[in-house]
Amino acid sequence: MWKDRIFLYQAWRNPRARVGGNLFDIGGKVRAIDVQRGESALSGAGTRATIAGANDVEALVELILRATVRRPSPHASGEPRYWLTFWLADGTTLGRPYFPESGELLGGVVPAAEFRALVERHLRD
């Protein structure tokens, strides 16, 4: 706590992580996922979608938990990205950029191609 405010810090990288579940403790905790094309949810630009169906949320979370973790790649500022906001059951959120061309979620987490397909399906709907 600092100046009557609570700050939560989240690890985004761990050289010992082998699967996404080593970095993201979100199994059974996500109630919805907001997706936006562009820099971040704060930018206000780009296509938005909310993924709230339990089956799709669970599928995306499982793909992240089982994903391979590699050394994080550098990403150019203009590289296409989606901003994902995970709405957790405890009322907190977890936000991370996802780079569809490399298939990488920030921190070197690389879910199967099915992840991108499912996210993009919701952006089209």
Distance in angstroms (rounded) separating the CA atoms of residues 117 and 60: 10
pLDDT at site 42: 52
How does DSSP assign 6-69, residue by residue? Answer: ---------TT--BGGGT---TTTEEEEEEEESS-TTS--S-EEEE--HHHHHHHHHHHHH-EE
pLDDT digits (tens, 9 = 90+) for 85-110: 999 999 999 999 999 999 999 889 99
pLDDT at site 10: 67
Cα-based distances in Å from 36 to 50, 66, 67: 9, 23, 21
| Domain locations in the chain as residue ranges | 28-124
pLDDT digits (tens, 9 = 90+) for 57-94: 999 999 999 999 999 889 888 899 999 999 999 999 99
Cα-based distances in Å from 24 to 2, 13, 97, 111: 25, 10, 14, 13
pLDDT digits (tens, 9 = 90+) for 3-54: 887 777 667 778 888 999 999 999 999 999 999 998 654 555 568 999 999 9
Q: Please tell me the pTM assigned to this model.
A: 0.86
pLDDT at site 40: 52
